[in-house]
């Protein structure tokens, strides 16, 4: 209260001085004197504060911050706290060996029907390559790749022109130069390129793989495709213009279609292959699958630590399920009504058919220019929910979009239980190995049983909680176990070692 009073007194003194005949000739001398005295007081006070006990003031400030901080923890605070994800006990951590795939099993899963290399005398089983380098422009170098033979060589065996420039949904071969540029400038793919630098090129160096990938050292190209496109595309060598789908060559992607355990075992039954590669026995020329790698990790794994920080106990969650997501997936262009289009799109169908449900809180957050946000008086879209909001529900409905559900990893880690149809895609998290009623509550493909399954969760609280705990263990075993990072490195090396065995330089004619 002293400072306002003092300012008032100064104002009064100024008025008195201005009214006094004796001060008219003195001009502004007296007010300047008062100002100088005030400045001196401020300087002295500053010195005293500087000499005071800094620890006392910092502690006082810290306690004040704590008293004023909101009760709701924010995502930013979680990132700053970096709360670790831990197992419930040492025994639980030790059980990883008996419940989670080992290194070699994971290599089999990620490589699928490229796991087994061709036998040395099976010429048609190899991918033949030739390297072309422009001496005047090293950036224009490229590979010509001959794909493996198919069933009765039908469809026709193709050759592809593969260069190192990185474009969405198009095969390229890895170089540090273009991955560095991509990581810094290409916004849609920069996180893929960052992961490529940190894992793929790093592993290649450890294996003695030439960074320049020159033919003289016998190094085949490392083929990749970035992005969410389900199909793999490559430029055919005939004119360098037509783009073909499903090239029959081993290549790395973020995901592939999910396959069954029986099919997976049939791919890996022999030490080497002397006949047509498994997958062509049904005359299907498109059944050779991409090799899965850990890519776009920021999007798929970036929210794990935040989930551990923001989550609440199972007993504190609402007895209902929630879905929030964009209207991803293929658009419907048939000349039908918007309602019919909505019912043909799984995410839209879920929202539209559960508008009045007390067990399913489902809304879209972005229509992606595919449909209006309101159809037949049904509001389909709402604002985005934070992870903190989603974690208030016992049930988390997870649906695939363009490929695997990006939120599935944090949902599995959470104290909630995941409801989803059987995965049709698989990624580094090995979604195809997740078991219904073990790691998640299964939904039918038509999403007609979401309310029934949520009601089951409500009526079988303890069993549902156990499903949630087993799902959490899957992600802990994958990401947070003390052996997780070491295992990842061994998997990376194992994949590339087997990858190289599929390539031979093109025979000279």
**CB contact at 8 A, 117 and 500:** no
Strands 374-375 and 378-379, by their bridges, are antiparallel
Of the listed ranges 108-122, 137-151, 211-225, the least confidently predicted one is 211-225
Compute the mean pLDDT over every residue in the chain, rounded to the nearest whole number.
Answer: 83
pLDDT, residue 149, reads 76
Which residues face 360 on adjacent strands? 321
The first and second tokens of residue 13, run together, are 């003194």
Q: Hey, is 249 helix, strand or coil?
A: coil
Measured between alpha carbons, how far is 197 from 199 in angstroms, rounded to an integer?
Answer: 6
- CATH number of 301-486: 3.40.50.2000, 3.90.470.10, 3.90.1150.10, 3.30.70.20? 3.40.50.2000
The first and second tokens of residue 475, run together, are 């992600």
Which residues face 14 on adjacent strands? none
pLDDT, residue 352, reads 97
Written as one string, the DSSP assignment of 163-196 is: ES---TTS-EE--HHHHHHHHHH-GGGHHHHHHI
* Residue carrying the six token digits 């790698």: 293
pLDDT, residue 157, reads 80
The first and second tokens of residue 455, run together, are 């009601």
pLDDT, residue 119, reads 92
Of the listed ranges 25-29, 252-256, 308-312, the least confidently predicted one is 25-29
Q: Is the pLDDT reported for residue 304 higher than 60?
A: yes
In this prediction, residues 338-351 reach a mean pLDDT of 95
Pick the more confident residue, 157 or 189. 189
The domains of the chain are located at: 2-68, 103-293, 301-486
Q: How confident is the model at residue 507 (pLDDT cuts 50, 70, 90)?
A: confident
Tell me the per-residue pLDDT of 438-461, one tens digit each, with 9 for 90 and over: 999 999 999 999 999 999 999 999
pLDDT, residue 284, reads 58
H or E element in which residue 266 lies? helix 261-267
Q: Is the pLDDT reported for residue 463 higher than 60?
A: yes
In this prediction, residues 37-42 reach a mean pLDDT of 68
Q: Hey, is 497 helix, strand or coil?
A: helix
Kindly list the distances between the CA atom of residue 183 and the CA atoms of 179, 193, 204, 395, in Å, as whole numbers in the listed order: 6, 5, 18, 37
In this prediction, residues 198-227 reach a mean pLDDT of 78
Pick the more confident residue, 419 or 71. 419
The first and second tokens of residue 220, run together, are 């085949």
pLDDT, residue 225, reads 97
> Where are the alpha helices (H) located in 20-160, listed in sequence order?
29-51, 54-68, 75-81, 90-94, 96-99, 103-111
The first and second tokens of residue 323, run together, are 């879905």
Q: How confident is the model at residue 81 (pLDDT cuts 50, 70, 90)?
A: low
Q: How confident is the model at residue 80 (pLDDT cuts 50, 70, 90)?
A: low
| E strand segments, 202-333 | 223-224, 233-236, 243-245, 252-253, 256-257, 291-292, 318-326
Classify residue 124 by its DSSP letter. G
Measured between alpha carbons, how far is 227 from 253 in angstroms, rounded to an integer?
Answer: 8
Measured between alpha carbons, how far is 19 from 21 in angstroms, rounded to an integer?
Answer: 6
Q: How confident is the model at residue 135 (pLDDT cuts 50, 70, 90)?
A: low
Q: Is the pLDDT reported for residue 127 higher than 90?
A: yes
Q: How confident is the model at residue 77 (pLDDT cuts 50, 70, 90)?
A: low
**CB contact at 8 A, 396 and 450:** no
Q: Is the pLDDT reported for residue 357 higher than 80?
A: yes
Minimal CA–CA distance to 113: which of 248, 207, 234, 244? Answer: 248
pLDDT, residue 123, reads 86
Pick the more confident residue, 442 or 120. 442
Q: How confident is the model at residue 403 (pLDDT cuts 50, 70, 90)?
A: confident
Minimal CA–CA distance to 380: which of 358, 402, 396, 365? Answer: 365
Minimal CA–CA distance to 139: which of 176, 107, 96, 106? Answer: 176
Classify residue 239 by its DSSP letter. T
* Residue carrying the six token digits 């008293």: 67
Minimal CA–CA distance to 170: which of 129, 220, 224? Answer: 224
Minimal CA–CA distance to 177: which of 161, 198, 197? Answer: 197
Q: Is the pTM of this model over 0.85?
A: no
Geometric angle at alpha carbon 231, from 227 and 237, rounded to 5°? 100
pLDDT, residue 154, reads 53
> Where are the alpha helices (H) located in 275-433, listed in sequence order?
297-301, 304-310, 338-344, 346-352, 387-390, 408-413
Q: What is the CA radius of gyration of the chain?
A: 32
Q: Hey, is 489 helix, strand or coil?
A: helix
First-to-last alpha carbon distance for the chain, in angstroms, is 97
Measured between alpha carbons, how far is 157 from 57 in angstroms, rounded to an integer?
Answer: 76
Q: Hey, is 490 helix, strand or coil?
A: helix
For residue 12, how many other CB atoms are within 10 A of its CB?
Answer: 10
Q: How confident is the model at residue 486 (pLDDT cuts 50, 70, 90)?
A: very high
Tally DSSP H helices, then E strands, for the chain.
20, 19
For residue 124, how many other CB atoms are within 10 A of its CB?
Answer: 14
**CB contact at 8 A, 371 and 339:** no
pLDDT, residue 244, reads 84
pLDDT, residue 31, reads 56
- % of the chain beyond a pLDDT of 90: 58
């Amino acid at each position: 209260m002293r400072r306002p009073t003092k300012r008032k007194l100064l104002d009064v003194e100024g008025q008195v001085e201005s009214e006094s005949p004796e001060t008219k000739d003195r001009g502004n001398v007296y007010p300047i004197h008062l100002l100088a005295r005030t400045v001196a007081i401020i300087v002295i006070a500053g010195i005293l504060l500087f000499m005071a006990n800094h620890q006392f003031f910092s502690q006082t400030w810290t306690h004040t911050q704590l008293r004023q901080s909101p009760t709701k923890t924010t995502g930013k605070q979680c990132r700053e706290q970096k709360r670790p994800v831990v197992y419930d006990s040492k025994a639980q951590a030790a059980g990883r060996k008996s419940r989670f795939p080992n290194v070699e099993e994971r290599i089999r899963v990620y490589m699928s029907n490229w796991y087994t290399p061709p036998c040395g005398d099976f010429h048609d089983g190899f991918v033949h390559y030739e390297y072309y380098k422009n001496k005047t422009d090293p950036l224009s170098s490229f590979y010509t790749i001959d794909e493996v033979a198919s069933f009765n060589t039908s469809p026709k065996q193709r050759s592809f022109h593969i260069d190192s420039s990185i474009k969405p949904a198009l095969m390229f071969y890895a170089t540090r130069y273009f991955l560095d540029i991509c990581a810094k400038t290409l916004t849609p793919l920069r996180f893929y390129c960052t992961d490529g630098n940190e894992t793929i090129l790093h592993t290649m160096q450890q294996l003695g793989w030439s960074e320049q990938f020159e033919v003289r050292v016998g190094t085949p190209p490392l083929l990749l495709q970035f992005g969410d496109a389900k199909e793999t595309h490559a430029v055919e060598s005939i004119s360098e213009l037509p783009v073909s789908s499903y090239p029959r060559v081993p290549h790395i992607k973020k995901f592939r279609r999910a396959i069954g355990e029986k099919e997976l075992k049939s791919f890996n039954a022999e030490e080497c292959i002397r006949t047509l590669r498994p997958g062509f026995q049904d005359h299907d020329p498109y059944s050779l699958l991409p090799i899965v790698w850990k890519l776009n990790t920021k999007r798929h794994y970036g929210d794990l630590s935040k989930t551990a920080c923001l989550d609440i106990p199972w007993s504190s969650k609402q007895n209902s399920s929630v879905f929030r997501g964009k209207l991803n997936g293929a658009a419907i262009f048939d000349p039908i009504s918007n309602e019919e289009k909505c019912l043909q799109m799984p995410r839209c169908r879920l929202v539209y058919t559960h508008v009045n449900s007390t067990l399913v809180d489902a809304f879209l957050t972005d229509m992606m220019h595919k449909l209006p946000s309101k159809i037949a008086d049904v509001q389909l879209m709402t604002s985005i929910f934070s992870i903190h909001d989603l974690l208030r529900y016992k049930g988390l409905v997870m649906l695939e979009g363009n490929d695997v559900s990006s939120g599935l990893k944090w949902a599995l880690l959470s104290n909630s239980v995941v409801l989803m149809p059987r995965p049709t895609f698989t990624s580094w998290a090995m979604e195809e190995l997740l078991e219904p009623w073990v790691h998640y509550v299964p939904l039918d493909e038509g999403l007609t049983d979401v309310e029934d399954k949520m009601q089951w969760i409500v009526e079988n609280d303890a069993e549902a909680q156990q499903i949630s705990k087993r799902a959490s263990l899957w992600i802990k075993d994958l990401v947070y176990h003390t052996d997780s990072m070491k295992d990842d490195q061994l998997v990376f090396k194992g994949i590339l070692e087997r990858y190289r065995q599929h390539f031979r330089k093109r025979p000279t004619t």
